Structure 1
Amino acid sequence: MTSNVIKDEPLHCPGPESEDAGQSSACNTCNYQQFCSSNQSKNIEDPDIQLIKDNLSNIKNKVLVLSGKGGVGKSTFSTLLSFLLSSDPDMNIGLLDLDITGPSIPKMIGTMNDNNNAQLHSSNNGLIPHYIQDNFASISIQYLLPSVDQPIIWKSSKKEQIIKKFLKDTQWSDLDFLIIDTPPGTSDEHIFINKLLNKTKSITGAIIITTPQEVALNDVRKEINFCQKVNINILGLVENMSGFVCNNCNKSTDIFKPTTGGGKALCEEFNIPYWGKLPIDPRLGICCDQGESFIDTFPDSDATKSLIKMGDLLLDQCDY
C-alpha cells in the first residue's frame, strides 16, 4: 500500500531563493525538491520582471505586513498604518491587498459596503487604483469581482498571475510608501511576491504582526524564519490586541495573556526590533466595519498614540 503521508520540509531547508535550493542534502526528503531544482535550472529571465521594476521605480518604499498567523490583525494594521501615513498631506500612500481569497481591505477603508463594491478602472497605461483621498490609493482583487459575496476559487498559478498584474500594470503615480497586506502563512503568495520584488531589488522590509499568546507566537516564529531565509529585512514587530484599557476607569486588562513573554520576548529571541503594543479598542472594530479612519475619529485614544509611535519608527528606517 502506497503511503500518502506528506513529508515535512526539513528545518534546515536552504530556502526557495537560495543557490542551493533543491540541490543540498537537506532537500532529498522534501516534497518540493523538484520544484526548487527546476526553478534553479531556469536561466531565462522573466520578461515581466523589467516591467515590474519600471512600474515600481517611482515608489520609494515597499513594506510588507506579515504574520504567519491568521486573525492577528494584519489587514487592520495595514489599514491603520496607511491612514496614519496619509494624514500627512505631503505624503502619497498606496495600499495593496494581496489577500486574494479573503480581501478585507476595501471594507476597512470604506470602498465597499453590504450592497456595493467599488470597481477598478483601466486606461491605456494600465489599472487605475481606487482613491480614498487625494494622497491615498488602494488596489484589491475585490474591485474586480462582480459582487461583494463572489468567492475566489483559484489555484496558485492564477493567484500568481493577478499578483504580477497588480505589480506591473497598476498606475500608482509617485508614492512615498506602498503598504502590502498579505494573507496568513508562508507559502504561495509570500514566496511569489518576495521573488518578484527581490528580483527588482525593491523590498524595503517587513512589519511582523502578532498577538501576545503563545499559539500566535508559534506561527509568527515561522514567519520570522521565512523572512530570514528569503532575505527580507524585518523593520519591526507589533504586538496587537495587547491589553484592553477601559474608557471609564482607565484600568488595563490582559485579555490575551503573554504566557511566554509575548512579542517583546520574541524580539529578544530573534534579535529584531520591538515596536510595542497596540491595545484592544472596540471602537476600532466599529471604524473598520464602517470604513472610517480610526486615527481621525479617535485621535486621543491609546491605540492612536501607539500607532503614531510605530509610524515614527517606520519613518526613521525609510527614505521618504
Structure 2
Amino acid sequence: MPPPPIPKAAIEAAQKKRSSITPQSAPLSVPVPPVPPESHAENCAAGTEQQGEAKGCQDCPNKETCKANKPDPKAKKLESDAVLACMENVQRKVLVLSGKGGVGKSTVTCQLAYELASRGLSIGVLDVDICGPSAPTMFGVTDRQIHHSRSGWSPVYVKEGLSVVSTAFMLEGGDEAVIWRGPRKNGLIKQFLTQVDWGHLDYLLVDTPPGTSDEHISTVQYLRADGAGVDGAIVVTTPEEVSMADVRKELSFCKKVKCDVVGVVENMAQFKSGVEKVGFRSKGGEDVSEKVKEILEKLPLDPNLLACCENGEGFTEKYGEGGESEEAVSALKAIADELVRALPTRQEE
C-alpha cells in the first residue's frame, strides 16, 4: 500500500523554513571581546587604590571587574614593604626579554652574568621562566637546592659573586612538568621578589619566558613597589623577520611599562664554517635597533659557546680574546660594556 500523500500545507511550511536557514558557505560572525584603548596600558591603575576608578579606567572593558576586586590597602602596604626589604641591596634590576622561544635569551643571560661576575661585580640571576627553567643547567648547578634560613630563601651560589634562583631547584625531577595557571605563577614570582635573601647585588638579571605574559607583568608590577622599578631591558632576537615581528612587540611592551631598552642583541647572526663565514640575509635586528635608537650587538653562532652553556662554564673566561671564538667573546664583552655604561652601579660610577 503506498504511503498517504503529504498535505500541501506541510510542504509549504517546510519550504518556508528551509529558505530561512543560512547556507553553510555563509560567513560566521564571531563576537570579539572589547579591547582596551591604546592609552589603557600606560594609564592602567591596576594594583593601586584607584583601580577601576582612575581616569584611564573609564573606557576599559575590565573597569567593573577591577573596581569589584580592589586590593586591600593594608595588604598592599605589607607587600610593598616586603619587596622593598628584599630589593634594598640590589642596585640594578634588568629584564632579559625575547619575543620567541629558542632565540638564546637564557644563553645571553647566563653568559652575561658570568662576564659581569668576572669583573668583580656581584650578580644575581632570577629565572622566572617557570614552565621552562634552564638557568641551573647553564650554570652547572642542577643538583643543588634552595634552602630556607631565618633571613629568607638562600639562592644557589654558582661561584663567589654569582647566585641564581629558579623554579628548577624546587622540582623533584628534571623532567617534571610545571602545569600552572597565572595565579600560581604570580604567587611564586611574588615569593621570589619578597623572600629571597640576595645580599648585596650590583645587578639582578631576570631571565623571562618568551612573549609578554603573566610572568613579565607580575615581575614589573611587584618591582615597582620598591620605588625604583625595573632599570632596563635587554631584548634578544635572531636575524629572521619572523622573530623581528615579535621583537617589535617586546619593544612596545617596554614602552608601555616605562622600561628603558638597553640594547637589542641579534643572536646566531652568522656561522663560521671552516675558513668561510656564512651570514644570514635578514637585517631585521639593525632595522629594529635603528628605530629605537639603541646599540645592537651581533652574537655569532659559536659551537664553543653552546658547549659552555651545556657544561655550565663561563664562555669569556674560558676562551678569552684572540682565539678561535674571538668574535663571540668580543660580542659578549661589548654587551656587558654597554650594560655597565647605560646602568652604572655605585662601584662603576
Pick closer, same or farther for the CA change 1:291–1:222 going to 2, 3 Å: same
Question: Which sections of structure 2, spanning at least 5 residues, go unmatched?
Answer: 1-27, 46-53
Q: Distance in 2 between matches of 1:24 and 1:206?
A: 31
Q: Secondary structure at the match of 1:15?
A: helix
Structure 1 position 312 matched with structure 2 position 337: yes
Pick closer, same or farther for the CA change 1:109–1:8 going to 2, 3 Å: farther
Pick closer, same or farther for the CA change 1:35–1:226 going to 2, 3 Å: farther
Give matches, 1:37-116, under 5 Å. Answer: 41-42=70-71, 44=73, 45-88=76-119, 90-112=120-142
Pick closer, same or farther for the CA change 1:87–1:34 going to 2, 3 Å: farther
Partner of 2:262: 235
Shift of 1:155: 1.1
Shift of 1:4: 7.1
Q: Distance in 2 between matches of 1:21 and 1:208?
A: 32
Pick closer, same or farther for the CA change 1:7–1:71 going to 2, 3 Å: farther
Q: Secondary structure at the match of 2:189?
A: helix
Give matches, 1:167-182, under 5 Å. Answer: 167-182=193-208
Query: Are the equivalent residues in 1 in contact too, given 2:40–2:57 (CA < 8 A)?
Result: no
Shift of 1:18: 2.5
Query: Are the equivalent residues in 2 in contact too, given 1:239–1:277 (CA < 8 A)?
Result: yes
Q: Distance in 2 between matches of 1:176 and 1:13?
A: 34
Q: Distance in 2 between matches of 1:110 and 1:318?
A: 28
Pick closer, same or farther for the CA change 1:159–1:180 going to 2, 3 Å: same
Pick closer, same or farther for the CA change 1:99–1:8 going to 2, 3 Å: farther
The one of 272, 282, 307 equivalent to 1:245 is: 272
Q: Secondary structure at the match of 2:57?
A: coil
Query: Residue type of the partner of 2:309?
Result: C
Structure 1 position 131 matched with structure 2 position 157: yes
Give matches, 1:266-305, under 5 Å. Answer: 266-269=288-291, 271-300=292-321, 301=325, 302-305=327-330
Shift of 1:14: 2.0
Q: Distance in 2 between matches of 1:298 and 1:35?
A: 55
Q: Distance in 2 between matches of 1:253 and 1:127?
A: 46
Q: How many residues align?
A: 303
Query: Residue type of the partner of 1:290?
Result: N
Q: Distance in 2 between matches of 1:8 and 1:236?
A: 34
Partner of 1:191: 217
CA RMSD of aligned residues (A): 2.2
Pick closer, same or farther for the CA change 1:17–1:128 going to 2, 3 Å: farther
Cα-to-partner distance string for 1:271-304 (whole Å, 9 max, x where unaligned): 2312321111122222211212222222232111
Q: Distance in 1 between matches of 2:256 and 2:190?
A: 22
Shift of 1:201: 2.5
Shift of 1:34: 5.1
Shift of 1:22: 6.8
Partner of 2:180: 154
Query: Residue type of the partner of 1:143?
Result: F
Quick check: which has more Rg, 1 or 2?
2
Query: Residue type of the partner of 1:257?
Result: R
Shift of 1:13: 5.0
**TM-score (structure 2 length as normaliser):** 0.81
Q: Distance in 2 between matches of 1:273 and 1:231?
A: 16
Query: Are the equivalent residues in 2 in contact too, given 1:275–1:313 (CA < 8 A)?
Result: no
Pick closer, same or farther for the CA change 1:21–1:185 going to 2, 3 Å: farther
Structure 1 position 262 matched with structure 2 position 294: no
Q: Secondary structure at the match of 2:204?
A: strand
Structure 1 position 121 matched with structure 2 position 108: no
Q: Distance in 2 between matches of 1:67 and 1:11?
A: 25
Cα-to-partner distance string for 1:123-176 (whole Å, 9 max, x where unaligned): 111111111101111110111111111111111111111111111111111111
Query: Are the equivalent residues in 1 in contact too, given 2:90–2:200 (CA < 8 A)?
Result: yes
Q: Distance in 2 between matches of 1:150 and 1:107?
A: 15
The sequence identity of aligned pairs, in percent, is: 37
Query: Are the equivalent residues in 1 in contact too, given 2:98–2:247 (CA < 8 A)?
Result: yes
Pick closer, same or farther for the CA change 1:128–1:138 going to 2, 3 Å: same
Q: Distance in 2 between matches of 1:136 and 1:78?
A: 12
Q: Secondary structure at the match of 1:77?
A: helix
Shift of 1:111: 0.5
Query: Are the equivalent residues in 1 in contact too, given 2:147–2:155 (CA < 8 A)?
Result: yes
Q: Distance in 1 between matches of 2:294 and 2:37?
A: 24
Shift of 1:42: 3.9
